[in-house]
């Protein structure tokens, strides 16, 4: 009796080129090298395909493969791996800047950092990386007396930022430099490198790479990074309304049975992370836990390729385990020796920010009971081709202490593609 997959394999396989190497993380994932030609038998999901390489079969990440690619196509996709045209184009318009400036939690946290360090900022040299409209640089000039702030902005917004600096009488202190932080020249090393670089799930957009490169090139020995550190937090959660709206909905719409659409709904709505999700504190099934911690003084660009964290949650109340929710917190150390750090927490116990939280839905909910443990790991793997993207792979098992049976092993791969 052929397996379902073998049935589907009867269709003629298509040849794909591996654009880079991939090492399978468990027995049913294929391992291959850049340049290998794989035969794709079944596109089991938008992210994982059942493929074959020299007789070995297994799942391959679709984003690593290009159909009928030849060298020039490969070069083309490597031409703009940062998608800078689109990325800086979007920051050249007001929409995103309005969203960020309207985010009081975010903007006031940076204002508080400047305010609480205003004495120590006197006569310091500051770099504001990715200054956008220049709000952080203007806070520095308005609330403290640094000797100079280099406000670096790659998008066309920079020309307006210059006007805002002049309009607010800060041109003596703030110098706007248009260009990528990796490419511009500063006349001197800086004492403080401040930036608002965080993206969804902390790292999406990978602007953090630019911050690390600028740190290595422009931050003087003993200089200060703002943020100084960052943590990614995870919690198993209920998502009853999201589940009801996207899955239960198909049970009886207008008295009809639309359940045959539920597999489609699962594929379409639950295989991508839900950005801007607002989790209620009550939805948390256990105490949230920091799964990844980044020290902005020691973090290296190569560390960004794969970042893994472990977790062990103890379920504190019975309910439906619909998925995991993630958020981040960044910390700004004080310039004064014993001064208190400022933190910007984007979790459910803080004022909502424009990031809100990110919800990763399981294929199907699992009912859990108080005392169960949900343990496993989260792997953030940067896309080797599209450098602003990453996949999030969650492995977990549930050691229900109320059931004899086994764990339910599972792993889901989410691609944080725009």
Active site residues: 196, 205
For the segment 89-108, give every residue that binds ligand GJV (CB under 6 A). Answer: 91, 100
Judge if the upstream peptide bond of residue 297 is cis by omega within 30 degrees of 0: no
236: exposed, middle or buried (Cβ count in 10 Å: 0-12, 13-18, 19+): buried
What is the C-alpha end-to-end distance of the chain, expressed in Å?
A: 41
Regarding 358 and contact with ligand GJV (CB under 6 A), the answer is no
Nearest residue to 392 (alpha-carbon basis) of 376, 405, 408: 376
Regarding 155 and contact with ligand GJV (CB under 6 A), the answer is yes
User: What letter does residue 198 receive in the DSSP assignment?
Assistant: -
Q: How is residue 363 written in tokens? A: 């294929």
**The one segment of 5-13, 152-160, 239-247, 251-259 that binds ligand GJV by CB under 6 A:** 152-160
Which conformational region is residue 154 in: left (phi greater than 0), alpha (psi within -120 to 50 degrees), or beta?
Answer: alpha
**What are residue 367's phi and psi, to 5 degrees?**
-85, 135
Instruction: Tell the residue number behind the tokens 């800078």, with chain if given.
Output: 84
Regarding 150 and contact with ligand GJV (CB under 6 A), the answer is no
Nearest residue to 47 (alpha-carbon basis) of 408, 344, 376, 392: 392
Neighbours of 97 (CB within 10 A): 19
Regarding 344 and contact with ligand GJV (CB under 6 A), the answer is no
Instruction: Tell the residue number behind the tokens 């400022």, with chain if given.
Output: 342
Regarding 198 and contact with ligand GJV (CB under 6 A), the answer is yes
**The one segment of 205-213, 309-317, 339-347, 402-410 that binds ligand GJV by CB under 6 A:** 205-213
**The one segment of 150-158, 242-250, 337-345, 397-405 that binds ligand GJV by CB under 6 A:** 150-158
**The one segment of 39-47, 154-162, 244-252, 359-367 that binds ligand GJV by CB under 6 A:** 154-162
Determine the Cα–Cα distance for residues 376 and 283; give it in Å rounded to an integer. Answer: 20
Regarding 210 and contact with ligand GJV (CB under 6 A), the answer is yes
Using CB under 6 A, pick the residue from 38, 125, 154, 203 that binds ligand GJV.
154
Q: Count how many residues are written for the chain.
A: 418
Regarding 190 and contact with ligand GJV (CB under 6 A), the answer is no
Using CB under 6 A, pick the residue from 164, 181, 235, 344 that binds ligand GJV.
181
Between 24 and 199, name the residue whose CB sits nearer to ligand GJV.
Answer: 199
Regarding 414 and contact with ligand GJV (CB under 6 A), the answer is no
Instruction: Tell the residue number behind the tokens 């910390």, with chain if given.
Output: 331
Between 47 and 153, name the residue whose CB sits nearer to ligand GJV.
Answer: 153
Between 111 and 155, name the residue whose CB sits nearer to ligand GJV.
Answer: 155
Task: Report residue 269 CA to chain centroid gap.
Answer: 19
Total binding residues for ligand GJV by CB under 6 A?
Answer: 20
Least distance in Å: CB of 211 to ligand GJV? 8
Between 194 and 198, name the residue whose CB sits nearer to ligand GJV.
Answer: 198
Angle between helices 104-116 and 94-102 (to 10 degrees): 70
Nearest residue to 405 (alpha-carbon basis) of 364, 360, 363, 366: 366
Between 73 and 100, name the residue whose CB sits nearer to ligand GJV.
Answer: 100
Least distance in Å: CB of 49 to ligand GJV? 31
Please list, in sequence order, all residues whose beta carbon lies within 8 angstroms of the beta carbon of residue 248, skipping any fewer than 6 positions away. none
Least distance in Å: CB of 180 to ligand GJV? 4
Using CB under 6 A, pick the residue from 205, 283, 333, 372 that binds ligand GJV.
205
**Residue nearest to ligand GJV as judged by C-beta position:** 130
Determine the Cα–Cα distance for residues 248 and 320; give it in Å rounded to an integer. Answer: 14
Residue ranges that bind ligand GJV, judged by CB under 6 A: 88, 91, 100, 130, 132, 152-155, 157, 180-182, 196-199, 205, 207, 210
């Amino acid at each position: 009796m052929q397996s379902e997959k073998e049935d589907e394999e009867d269709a003629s396989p298509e040849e794909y080129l591996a654009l880079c190497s991939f090492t399978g993380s468990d027995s049913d994932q294929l391992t291959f090298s850049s340049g290998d030609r794989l035969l794709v038998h079944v596109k089991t999901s938008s992210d994982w395909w059942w493929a074959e390489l020299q007789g070995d079969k297994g799942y391959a990440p679709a984003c690593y493969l290009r159909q009928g690619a030849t060298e020039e196509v490969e070069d083309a996709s490597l031409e703009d791996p940062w998608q800078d045209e689109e990325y800086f184009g979007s920051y050249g318009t007001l929409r995103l800047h309005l969203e960020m400036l309207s985010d009081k939690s975010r903007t006031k946290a940076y204002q508080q950092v400047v305010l609480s360090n205003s004495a120590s900022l006197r006569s310091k040299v500051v770099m504001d990386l990715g200054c956008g409209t220049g709000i952080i640089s203007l806070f520095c000039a308005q609330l403290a007396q640094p000797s100079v702030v280099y406000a670096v902005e790659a998008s066309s917004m920079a020309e307006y930022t210059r006007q805002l600096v002049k309009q607010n009488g800060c041109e003596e202190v703030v110098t706007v430099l248009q260009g990528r932080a990796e490419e511009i020249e500063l006349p001197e090393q800086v004492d403080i490198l401040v930036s608002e670089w965080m993206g969804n799930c902390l790292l999406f957009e990978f602007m953090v790479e630019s911050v690390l490169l600028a740190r290595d090139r422009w931050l003087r020995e003993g200089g200060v990074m703002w943020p100084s550190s960052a943590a990614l937090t995870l919690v198993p959660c209920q998502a009853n309304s999201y589940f009801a709206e996207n899955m239960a909905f198909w049970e009886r719409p207008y008295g009809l049975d639309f359940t045959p659409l539920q597999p489609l709904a699962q594929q379409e709505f639950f295989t991508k992370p839900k950005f801007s999700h607002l989790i209620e504190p009550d939805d948390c099934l256990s105490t949230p836990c920091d799964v990844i911690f980044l020290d902005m003084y020691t973090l290296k660009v190569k560390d960004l390729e794969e970042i893994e964290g472990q977790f062990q949650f103890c379920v504190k109340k019975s309910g439906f385990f619909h998925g995991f929710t993630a958020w981040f917190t960044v910390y700004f150390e004080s310039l004064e020796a014993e001064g208190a750090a400022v933190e910007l927490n984007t979790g459910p116990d803080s004022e909502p920010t424009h990031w809100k939280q990110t919800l990763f839905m399981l294929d199907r909910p699992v009912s859990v009971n108080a005392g169960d443990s949900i343990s496993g790991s989260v792997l953030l793997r940067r896309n080797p081709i599209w450098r602003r993207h990453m996949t999030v792979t969650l492995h977990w098992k549930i050691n229900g202490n109320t059931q004899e049976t086994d764990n339910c092993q599972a792993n889901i791969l989410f691609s944080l593609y725009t």
